[in-house]
Structure 1
């Protein structure tokens, strides 16, 4: 099942809960995901309504890969994420968390342990996720599209996920800390413009497939989109 996951807070036990980022995870029906976490400006609780072009220093974390989940009991499952690309590591180990469904039917409390970036120590954490249903974007059905790009010779990997009214892409162009680019797009019908880029982090001149894919009339599995010398392959395209 596909999901749009917006993080409401993170809590490093025993500290109080807070949300220093704008975090969105898009997961496809075949469990491919792109997770982009943007550090918010001081004193802000959200990204600006207009497009933001930000330095990589504002990228808290970005990941793309595949996930799986095992039911352990009613309303309780163990989820595991394998990071095909990770902004913090070239060879990140899988991470996992216990997921607890909340009474509202749209929220999930995640519990686990990972390194607290502030202290550098393994710490118990809690994260609250809100999973609204995907919206349509002008048609009768919400859509999901996933593309991947890999050039082993150049050390480049990328994944794009569009789900309902949201789309995200994350690319690693090499082994360096600066070889990262991420974007988030949103579809809105309040001004007639449809898709618009909400945030971009990384190399401002680096071309990505978002605009072409989001503007395409028909996207099918097996199709390809060219971006410079790169080939982005469509691996999922379905109604959700």
Structure 2
């Protein structure tokens, strides 16, 4: 077992919450919309100048408030002494639900953390790509696209055990020259909404909704009555697509 793997095993159980976000799946007519809680967690060995650091972005499972040990998680373990990082989990990166951009959002947050902490020159320990994580050519291409879109290079063998690179890799490794060659797009980073921003926005929307209710109530009161002008008022509101019915 490598020193980074040993450090990961030790540090992942001590990781504590740093920030909380929300992930909302894009609205599509043929899919159920899901909102997940995302935790950014961190731990380290040593205080002032840690030798090892661990950081992960993980989301709750759909329909629950629970985190899975491996699913819906992207992590990185850092050795500052050798200036090397290792992405995880080492078994596979598996997202639930699939195809909604959750994996991209979590990976982007991890890469962004590395960049913000000035680890661009650090080397990357190769991560494993295994045929056990894909069941079809379509899944293989989607898996490989996922890593390549962030700047990883893929090397290994195809289904005929021939050396291959890029999208054709079935079994092999993903890596990059340095952390600085990886990229986290602003679109992927924006997929996560900070909880404090969400609740602030929610409060604003509730306030606006209440103001609209009061405005509609005012219009209804304005159009009530039996005076000669009341029918004309109601007709004007009807032509303006108001909820007030035409008399």
Which has the higher Rg, Structure 1 or Structure 2?
Answer: 2
More relative contact order in 1 or in 2 (CA 8 Å, sep 6+)?
Answer: 1
Under TM normalisation by the shorter chain, which class is it? under 0.3
TM-score (norm 1): 0.23
TM-score (norm 2): 0.23
